């Protein structure tokens, strides 16, 4: 039987995930607590579970709306030749670096982040974490993250319908779906970001946590750049994928932290009781 988060998994190093150190964070925590208080009797779900799902749904709608807004901003940028002015020079530089061996190697690598490779990789990572930790959290967070990432990719591509770079400038096999945003980049950012977050909660060593973050950044960064190198996406498609992906990761992580916060404040929880907890993470009786 899969278990819930333990007290040990409510921290990343010395940082308590249920402690909110900024004014905005404390406001979010208070809103989560208010929602949890009113949701205690919703079906058989605990208040913490309700807060997790509601936060993910509301955050997901906000991020999908952000994707739509990004599409509008993108059109303005293209018309003003802003960041999009880098698209052609960057692609031209990538073409100059190509050779048959490197093209083949990068194609194999970019397939890892594709519509088949990345879900398989994420599913394997999730399965290993669930099996090793006997925890349901990796499965829940990964499903939420993947659904949101898919919705963002579909929304962005349908709203913009931007053409990819000309096939004469791309390395086969060619792709025909709309170019904006880069689905490889967005999905790699989201799924890798959630895996990194889950691992950070289990790693004791600061050096191991740093290495995990660096490895995640290098993978996500190189996956996006591989799309530009092969001529499958413009640079702006990749930048949008990074930005939107990080925004969704932030939403999912916030939803999970609110879940931990509400669970801790629920009477009967094995950790800190509701009377001992505050959104700042401090014990009010010691303030």
User: What's the pLDDT tens digit per position in 177-188?
Assistant: 888 888 899 999
**Cβ atoms of residues 234 and 179 within 8 Å:** yes
Rounded alpha-carbon distances, angstroms, from residue 163 to 175, 176, 240, 278: 10, 8, 15, 51
Task: Name which of 77-81, 82-86, 100-104, 263-267 the model is least confident about.
Answer: 77-81
Please say if the pLDDT value at position 263 is more than 80: yes
Exposed/middle/buried for residue 108 (C-beta within 10 Å: 0-12, 13-18, 19+): exposed
Please say if the pLDDT value at position 53 is more than 70: yes
Where in the chain are the domains?
A: 17-286
Query: Rounded to an integer, what distance in angstroms lies between the CA atom of residue 127 and that of residue 147?
Result: 17
Q: What is the pLDDT of residues 71-98, one digit of tens each?
A: 666 666 555 555 567 788 899 999 999 9
Query: Rounded to an integer, what distance in angstroms lies between the CA atom of residue 215 and that of residue 25?
Result: 28
Say what the pLDDT of residue 285 is. Answer: 37
Query: Rounded to an integer, what distance in angstroms lies between the CA atom of residue 141 and that of residue 256?
Result: 8
DSSP state of 162: P
Our CA dihedral for 195, 201, 205, 211, rounded to 10 degrees, sits at 20
Q: Which residues contact 4 (CB under 8 A, 6 or more apart)?
A: 135, 136, 137, 263
Query: Rounded to an integer, what distance in angstroms lies between the CA atom of residue 166 and that of residue 279?
Result: 53
Confidence of residue 164 (pLDDT cuts 50, 70, 90): confident
Say what the pLDDT of residue 229 is. Answer: 96
> What is the torsional sign of CA 241, 247, 248, 249?
positive
pTM: 0.88
Q: What is the pLDDT of residues 112-161, one digit of tens each?
A: 988 889 999 999 999 999 999 999 999 999 999 999 998 888 888 887 77
Say what the pLDDT of residue 84 is. Answer: 62
Confidence of residue 249 (pLDDT cuts 50, 70, 90): very high
Say what the pLDDT of residue 242 is. Answer: 93
Structure tokens at 102: 């490197």
Query: Rounded to an integer, what distance in angstroms lies between the CA atom of residue 45 and that of residue 140?
Result: 14
Query: Rounded to an integer, what distance in angstroms lies between the CA atom of residue 37 and that of residue 35?
Result: 5
DSSP state of 204: -
Q: Identify the CA nearest to 225 among candidates 257, 266, 184, 261.
A: 184
Cis geometry, peptide bond prior to residue 246 (ω within 30 degrees of 0):
no
CA atoms lying within 13 Å on the CB side of residue 256 = 26
**Cβ atoms of residues 175 and 282 within 8 Å:** no
Structure tokens at 34: 């208010």
With a pLDDT cut of 90, the percent of the chain lying above it is 48
């Amino acid at each position: 039987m899969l278990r819930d988060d333990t007290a040990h998994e409510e921290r990343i190093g010395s940082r308590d995930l249920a402690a909110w150190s900024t004014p905005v964070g404390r406001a979010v925590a208070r809103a989560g607590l208010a929602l949890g208080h009113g949701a205690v009797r919703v079906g058989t779900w605990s208040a913490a579970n309700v807060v997790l799902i509601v936060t993910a749904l509301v955050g997901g709608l906000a991020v999908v709306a952000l994707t739509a807004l990004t599409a509008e901003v993108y059109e303005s940028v293209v018309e003003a030749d802003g960041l999009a002015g880098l698209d052609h020079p960057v692609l031209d530089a990538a073409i100059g670096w190509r050779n048959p061996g490197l093209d083949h190697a990068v194609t194999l690598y970019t397939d890892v982040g594709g519509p088949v490779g990345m879900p398989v990789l994420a599913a394997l990572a999730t399965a290993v974490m669930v099996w090793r930790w006997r925890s349901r959290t990796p499965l829940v967070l990964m499903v939420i993250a993947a659904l949101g990432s898919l919705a963002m990719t579909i929304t962005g591509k349908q709203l913009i319908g931007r053409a990819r770079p000309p096939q004469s400038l791309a390395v086969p096999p060619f792709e025909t779906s709309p170019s904006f945003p880069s689905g490889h980049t967005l999905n790699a950012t989201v799924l890798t970001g959630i895996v990194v977050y889950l691992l950070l909660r289990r790693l004791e060593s600061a050096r191991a946590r740093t290495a995990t973050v660096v490895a995640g950044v290098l993978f996500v960064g190189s996956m996006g750049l591989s799309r530009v190198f092969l001529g499958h996406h413009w640079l702006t498609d990749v930048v949008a994928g990074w930005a939107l992906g990080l925004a969704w990761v932030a939403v999912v992580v916030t939803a999970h932290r609110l879940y931990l916060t509400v669970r801790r404040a629920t009477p009967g929880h094995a950790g800190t009781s509701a009377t001992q907890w505050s959104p700042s993470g401090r014990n009010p009786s010691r303030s």
